[in-house]
Structures are given as structure tokens and as C-alpha cells.
Chain A
Amino acid sequence: MMQEPTLPQGYSLAAFDTLDSTNSELKRRVAQGEAPDRLVVWAIEQTKGRGRRGRSWSGPAGNLMCSILLRPNCSLPSAAQLGFVAALAVLDTVRPLLPGRQDIALKWPNDVLVGGRKVSGILLEAGGWMPGAPGWVVVGTGINLMHHPGDTEWPATDVRTEGGRAATAVQALEAYCGAFERWSACWSRDGFEPIRQEWMRNAYGLGDPIVARVEAGTITGRMLGIDPDGSLVLESDAGTECRLAAADILPAEG
């Protein structure tokens, strides 16, 4: 029998050996009216993990896969800032496992990189937002503790491969939920600015050339940071400043 994780006050847990996807399970519970604020769904193994726009997310046992349901009392555009809150929580979970590493950074908007390789992924799904009535946000997080896929567009890695401290999924879940609670409390109290500043302190590729893929093509430019609502700001090669609310960051060539 596995050890029962200890979560922050106000959090409840639904634990599974196997699930299709923790986000899907949480959304099913939302649809059935069985998802209180701060319900955490955790699975030891995930068979149909999802990434952005139908991409799959590998979920072998040994890694952490979990989703947190939030019912924030804010506007829908502000709720998008929870992705940055989650990114800082993943950073705080991964950093102690890799002591001394100076090359842990955040790729816009919410990936944690170790040595330039992706060690985690976050997928946020929101719904139920009506004028004057806040809805829900599912914050799905995967952290590669023991395994990583080899066939990804952006190179991946895991904590073990990087020579990090061994952590069980239970330990990582406890650390992640604890950090998530600290950063979300900070966000509720002080707004996005402290989150933005901490994100910028850890940003990957600040000032460097990056390639952003949008539906109409790709934009190359120098990464300037994120603006007060979290949009990516870059200076295109033509010298124009662009703000992107949705894009994929690709590895810069050369």
C-alpha cells in the first residue's frame, strides 16, 4: 500500500493507480458536480495524457502526474495567470532535487527546463465562465522524475537522467502542492506582479533570439520578457515589439 500523501490545508485528494488523464478525470468530476475547490487528482500511471492541441504526454509510473481544480474569484483573463503560478511551483519542486544546478529555467509560458531540456509540462483547461460568475480551472502538471520521452519537438529530460536526488511521486506531489499553495496565496493576496517578477528572474533565453510559432507562421526575434498580463514580448528582427498570447516557442537554430 502506498503512503498517503500529506497535502496543504484545504486540499483534498483523489488517488488512482491508473487513469486515462488526470485532467480528464477532474473535468468529469466538474461535469458531475463533484469537484470542490482545491481537489487534487493524482495517478501513478497515465495512459492517455494530453498536451496542448491533442499532443500526447507520456505518463509512466515513476513520474508525477496530477491536476488541481481551482475556482478562483477573478476574471477569466486573470485566471490565465495560474499557469505561471503552477510553473513557479514546479520550479520549487524540481530545484531541491538538483542542488547546485544553475541551469534550471522557465520557458514561456510554463515549462521548466534543466540544461535547456524540458523536465515538466503544464496543461490548463478552464470552463464554466459566464458574465459575473467565475468558472473553474484545471491545472494539470507532469514532472519527469524517472523517465522522459525521446521523440519530442523540444528535447526532454528527467530528474534521474540529470543526476538528481531520487524522489518518489508522493514526495514530489507533496512538494508541488505545498509550493502551489504558497504561490497561489501570494497571487490571491498581491496579484500577478510578484509572480511575474519571480518568473522573469528565472526566464530562459531572456535577451536571446527565439522562434515563436503562431498559426500564421513563425516569428523570430529577441525575447524581452512577459508583460503585466503574461503575454510573451519579443522584438522582431525588423525592430517591432510583438506581444503574443498564444504561441509555441521552438528551439532557435544555430
Chain B
Amino acid sequence: MTTKFDVDADMIRRLASLIDETGLTEIEYDDGTRKIRVARALAPVAAQVASAAPQPMQSGDQPQMQPAPQVVDAGHPGAVTAPMVGTAYLQPDPQAPQFVNVGDRVEKGDTLLIIEAMKVMNQIPSPRSGTVRQILVTNGHPVEYGEVLMIID
């Protein structure tokens, strides 16, 4: 009935605005008789689940959540993957230039970006010498374990 439908639409609107407000990806509401689930498919994700015992990704697996616009397989020969869950920063501090840009030549061990977790700023070194072909992370956004950060070959 119309009244009932209006109530549901209102609830959905409220849940949707709550999603925006909290930065969550999904909210489920259950009042016993009906259940409403509001979710957004797009990262950025504010609330990230830190995995206690991360497992290396099997080659061929796709990352479950891929905030980058392009999906790049971790098996790509030039892939640089995240060694941990955290927030990615492309600059040493907000006023400084990026560690690397697309087209830059890097040496093995050069810092590519920082991943922060538990207020530890982790400088992620390049696993190989080569040229930065693609940067797949967004500054200040969360990354998952095993997610492809950059392509360097």
C-alpha cells in the first residue's frame, strides 16, 4: 500500500544518508518483519577490515574489492602489490611532491609510496628497477592486502 511504501522509501533514504555520513559501504536494517539492505558498490571504503592473518593471493585471483578504476591482476609481471592493509599516500607529507610519477625511472629499493596502518608510516620500496607505467592507488584511500598498487616494468 502507498503508506507502507512511503515509509520504506523514507527508511531507505535515511539509511542512504547514514551510509554517506559514516562512510560505510553497507547497512542492513531489520525490524523483525522486513529487512532493508542499502549498499554501495563503489569504493572508497572508510571502514576497512584488517585481516589478522593475510593470505597471499593465488595467481589468477581477482582482488575482491578494487577501488582503482582499472582491474589489474596481481599476476601481472610488473605488479607491485600491497604488503599490508592500510591507507596509501603518494607523497611523504601533504605539502611535498609525489615519491614517483608515471614515466619515472626507479631503482630497486626506492620508496614508491607510504601505507599507513596503526599510525605507522610504512615506506613501500620498489621490488625492482624499471619504469613506473601505472599508479593504481588514490592518495589517501585504503588499500587491501595484495591489491595492485603500481605497475613497474
Contact = CB atoms under 8 A, between A and B. Distances in A.
Contacts of A246: 86-87, 116-119, 142
A110 B122 contact: no
Contact of A245 (B29, B111, B117, B127): B117
The secondary-structure label for the interface of chain B is loop
Contacts of A50: 93
A52 B119 contact: yes
Given A215-B44, A246-B87, A130 B122 contact: no
A240 B24 contact: yes
A129 B83 contact: yes
B125 A242 contact: no
A141 to B, nearest CB: 12
Contact of B47 (A52, A128, A129, A242): A242
Interface residues of B, number: 44
Contacts of B140: 215
Interface stretch (A76-84, A95-103, A145-153): A76-84
Contact of A126 (B29, B94, B121, B141): B121
A137 B44 CA distance: 29
A237 B47 CA distance: 14
A219 B19 CA distance: 10
A219 B83 contact: no
A244 B48 contact: yes
Given A77-B117, A110-B119, A245-B48, A216 B23 contact: yes
A198 B139 CA distance: 34
Contacts, number: 143
Interface stretch (B49-57, B58-66, B70-78): B49-57
B27 interface: yes
Interface string A203-243: 00000000000111111100000011111000011101011
A86 B137 CA distance: 30
B123 A125 contact: yes
A130 B45 CA distance: 27
B117 to A, nearest CB: 4
